Chain A
Amino acid sequence: LPRLRALLQRCLLPSGLGVHSPPCGPALAVQVPAFLPPAAHDGGESSAEAPSLWESILWMAVPKKRRTIEVNRCRRRNPNKLIKEKRNIDVCPECGNLKQKHVLCGYCYAKVKAESRLIKMEIRKKEGGPFNAPTVETVVLYDGEKPTEKDEGKRIIERARKRPSWFVQN
């Protein structure tokens, strides 16, 4: 076993964990780990301890042969690894962009999100600070719209543009 261990040390120590250098010495100027496996204390250890990493390496799963490119190709190009074609793509009836059947149209969502952001900025300007949200409902009115009698006690947010077609009033 000490001969095996010496062989292991010669093979593994200079190469280290992933270091790509010839066995004569490290190719790049990086410190090889200063500590050595417990080879110096061989004589001292009379009781066989649990096998350290350097011995259990002998029982690790290791590839026996190089996988040829043909075998690699069979694995990588197997139909279960190829990307499957999606059959759930439709056209959004509102804007005409593509959308997935179970997902909202990306363009319409972005459009609504942009408008909501502007409304929220108006709200923030009106409130002026945190914790100032009123206890009444909010109504958004666009250019040339007057509050009706239904919007009596509600807070009114003005937006200086024409009402978008998708934002239906009431």
Chain B
Amino acid sequence: GGALARGLLSWARPERWLPSCSLFPLSCIHTSTSLQKTGKWERKNRIVYPPQLPGEPRRPAEIYHCRRDIKYSRDKMWYLAKLIKGMSIDQALAQLEFSDKKGAKVIKEVLLEAQELAVRKHNVEFKSNLHIAESLTGRGRYVKRIRYHAKGMFGIMNIVRCHYFVKLVEGPPPPPEPPRTGFDQAKEYVQQLRNRTLVHTL
């Protein structure tokens, strides 16, 4: 009797009838903790452009790479990201090698990984012919912990993590823009004055 009931129950398992989670959405919800969703930055590598027409200039290769949950502060990492923005990859690696910051080692690894990816998967011919178009930091997942003070006092501290994103583009680095002079600002001001019109009139 018991075996029969067990056999019946095991046969009557409703999940077996529907392999797709149509009727049981609650059981099939994948939260970000259990299944790591591919982030937006990783998905940018998957876009496929239609083939270029014969007359069009060649589209430079773009490689998106990132590292998640680095044990470092995103504000401190930002200074390094700002340093290497717009440099060629060799120059960036040189600067990071002799920087004393903890994040410099991490970013150097990320850049080398990205360079390797570029050569293997993204059809980049020369590994030195890359420059850093974008380099960003983001806030990782923070964890709260108790920090013990004297006299039984306590504080709540955040264990801080960050993400680092980099976009490499094939080609030499773009020339740096000339700084805005006073003359440029004056010209823009005069242009703004000239652009004014009268509204609701003849």
User: Interface of A with B (CB < 8 Å)?
Assistant: 16-20, 28, 30-34, 76-77, 81-83, 85-86, 89, 98, 100
Contacts known (A18-B149, A76-B75); A86 close to B95, Cβ less than 8 A: yes
In the complex, what distance in Å separates the CA atom of A89 from the CA atom of B95? 8
- Chain A residues with CB under 8 Å of B155's CB are 18-20
| Interchain CB contact under 8 A, A86 and B98 | yes
Contacts known (A83-B99, A98-B94); A33 close to B149, Cβ less than 8 A: no
Q: How far is the CB of B155 from chain A (nearest CB, A)?
A: 4
Binary interface encoding of chain B residues 93-132 relative to chain A, with 1 for a CB under 8 A from any of its CBs, else 0: 0110111010000000000000000000000000000000
| Central interface residue in B80, B82, B97, B101, by most chain A CB within 10 Å | B97
Q: How far is the CB of B158 from chain A (nearest CB, A)?
A: 11
Contacts known (A28-B146, A89-B94, A89-B98); A83 close to B83, Cβ less than 8 A: yes
Extra pairs beyond A18-B153, A19-B153, A19-B155 (9, CB < 8 Å) = A18-B155, A31-B152, A83-B80, A83-B82, A83-B83, A83-B101, A85-B83, A89-B94, A100-B98
- Chain B residues with CB under 8 Å of A77's CB are 82
- Chain A residues with CB under 8 Å of B79's CB are 81-83
- Chain B residues with CB under 8 Å of A85's CB are 83, 95
For B154, give its contact among A30, A34, A89, A100 (CB under 8 Å).
A30
- Chain B residues with CB under 8 Å of A28's CB are 146, 154
